[in-house]
Amino acid sequence: MKQRQLSWPGCRANCWLIALLATLTVAEVAALPFLFTHLRPQINWTQLETQPWVVEEQPRSIEPHLELVPHPNRTKISASDASDAEFLQRLANQTATSRMLWNDAGGGDGLVYPPFVDRALRLLNLKQVAFEVENSLMSQVTCTACRAGAGMIQHQIQSGKTDADLIQMITDYCTNLNIQTARVCQGVAQLFGTELIYVLKRVNLSPDELCSFVIGDGCADVYNPYHEWEVIFPPVPKPPRLADLPIPMEAAPFFKVLHISDTHYDPHYAEGSNAECNEPLCCRLSSGRPATPNAAAGKWGDYRKCDTPKRTVDHMLAHIAETHKDIDYILWTGDLPPHDVWNQTKEENLAILKETVQQMVEKFPGVPIFPALGNHESAPVNSFPPPYVNQVDISISWLYDELDIQWRRWLPQSVTHTVRRGAFYSVLVRPGFRIISMNMNYCNNKNWWLLLNSTDPATELQWFIYELQSAEFSNEKVHVIGHIPPGHSDCLKVWSRNFYKIIARYESTITAQFYGHTHYDEFEMFYDPHDLNHPNSVAYIGPSVSPYYDLNPGYRIYYVDGDHDSTTRLVIDHESWIMNLKEANLYGYPIWYKLYTARAAYNMKALRPSDWNNLLNELTNNQELFELYYKYYWKNSPARPTCDAECKKRLICDCKSGRSHDRKHFCAEVESKIDQESSKSWKSWFYRGLTNSSEERTGDTATDGDNPFDLVIVNVGG
């Protein structure tokens, strides 16, 4: 049966602004928001929206949007705006200067700095900083770089440098220290620099506070009252929770759902171009000629830092349309443009949006598609000003208005107001079943605008609570979709903490969550904040279409409990499909195949939160099962690295942590178990090594009952 409705490394993209936030120090391109290339007029931060936005007065989708279509050949499967006003008024009244790491030592020309900075720039490992930012693996090295860079820019702002001077200084340092090529440095400085400088001029935060905000628990947990806030719940008692959710009925009607994420379509991909360029994105004519035949970009894509060619996107969509003819609806969780984030414009990103929407319409006519906004759709990347930033040249309306036009191909008119306000919406799919699409860029800690005021941007979470409470009153079940997973390190800690509380409060209403952004095939767990032994939700993180980088292209198919009297609306099972990129380039033709089915691969009786929690325990204790998970996590890529104990701890902890920057709270027990197993393995290896050494030295001298380890000690001691 069919049901119609209406209507995810991310931060991996590029990383030199924190590597520039380390010289200046200067950070990464994909991780920090881009800045416009022209100077902007002063914003009147006391000018609020002319019309106050009241959640309860907005239109709601109350008519089922998905029509049932029979599939006879289908086989069964076993804060509010007042807080903005208050903050902006306080901001306007501030006269104090920013707190600095140091005082102006000599006034200089901006290129001579205090000894601390000179030492920091010499000692910082900029390549490590770039790697950590690109892969969202922050350590003290990146934290130190961030503090030095933030303090440096604040120092220069306080000394009276113009925006043009600061941007040129960033460009020069980036180029002279070989952080990136000259054109990338110039593009990063122009795009990022303007916006970053603009925001830093208007906040009264120390480098410690800034970097704790951006990096999170990798940079200490600095308390900042300006960025501490709580959502408000209605005075409605939480329904009694069940000991465990029921297992969906076998052979019951279901929805077949396609999940596509992180396409990163590159219209400038060129087969045979240089795939080993020294820039964040390669495989373009502008990347130059390959130095060796092996450095040439493949026909269907490349494992190196290259995005998806048009022929690969077209082939995948044609394959899906032919192989999965009974798709009921599609989840499309964002990141459409490529990773050339130093070189993007609004016009080009809008063109990619329109082209990819048209592709989806043509390949899946009549199939409802539920989109979510990625962090790459904006230009500059990660730049999503809240609604109170409504001046024409910096407002985000250029994107949200076009999203409304394009998404309305699938979504009802009732979503227009929230899409144009904040790119989020709620749609009733079937009676008793609703999909809510969240704009996760308001939790993106690389969105510099949140430094001005992070309190529930666009009132999104308060609106989310209203939608969930209305759904609870109406006995509806809800699926939540978005781009950045709420437990990912790219999600702002205070936003993630509030979101986690919302999931816990409405655990009987929310039956699944779906995200992208990471490019990997994984999941995240949610628990009752007051009882970590009670898992209450699971977030499915779909694989990327883009091979960026070291990955095979992939997509997901979900089977969701459908329309019947006992429906749970839980995910019954899911499949991950991939294309082996190495073989496609070798033989000239791609073959898409099912990599695994979750329940069969992991021997799970169902996919309830409790079942996924049990799997996590198994992954911790069963190395063979973990290696299987690791293979699927990397989409069976031949370029995947080996995974040691630290890698294992990180991956399992990622699964445990639906709340960002709180790994100590969730992961201590898991890390202890893995450390114990690792210690045992090391001792066993050491023991075997000594035993073999003993036997080689003593020949047949050891008799029955002799302890080889004792012989080793004697031999070594002798």
H or E stretch including 428? strand 425-430
The gap from C-alpha 372 to its chain's centroid, in whole angstroms, comes to: 13
Please, are residues 477 and 248 in contact by the beta-carbon 8 Å criterion? Answer: no
Which segments of 409-557 does DSSP mark as H helices, in order?
A: 416-422, 460-473, 493-505
Query: Is 483 annotated for ligand binding?
Result: yes
User: SS3 sequence, 231-297?
Assistant: CCCCCCCCCCCCCCCCCCCCCCCEEEEEEECCCCECCCECCCCECCCCCCCCCEHHHCCCCCHHHEC
> Given 3-state DSSP classes, what are the helix, strand and coil percentages for the chain, each rounded to the nearest 5?
40, 15, 45
SS (H, E, C) 330-363: EEECCCCCCCCCCCCCHHHHHHHHHHHHHHHHHH
- Under DSSP, the state recorded for 219 is G
d(Cα 280, Cα 25) in Å, to the nearest integer? 18
Residue from 561, 554, 559 nearest 594 by CA: 554
Decide if 144 contacts 120 (C-beta within 8 A). yes
- Burial class (CB within 10 angstroms; exposed 0-12, middle 13-18, buried 19+) of 48: middle
Judge whether 432 and 475 are in contact, CB under 8 Å. yes
- The answer, yes or no, to whether the previous bond of 549 is cis (omega within 30 of 0) is yes
Exposed/middle/buried for residue 234 (C-beta within 10 Å: 0-12, 13-18, 19+): exposed
Tell me: is residue 517 an annotated ligand-binding position.
yes
Contact 529, 650 (CB under 8 A): no
Q: Which residues contact 705 (CB under 8 A, 6 or more apart)?
A: none
- Position 557: which residue type? I
Structural element, H or E, at residue 412 = none
Instruction: Show the tokens assigned to 641.
Output: 């690295």
Classify residue 462 as exposed, middle or buried by CB count within 10 Å of its CB (0-12, 13-18, 19+): buried
d(CA 560, CA 511): 10
Q: Is 519 annotated as a binding residue?
A: yes
| Residue 578 phi, psi (nearest 5) | -140, 170
Q: Which residues are annotated as a binding site for Zn(2+)?
A: 262, 264, 335, 375, 483, 517, 519
Q: Which residues are annotated as a binding site?
A: 262, 264, 335, 375, 483, 517, 519
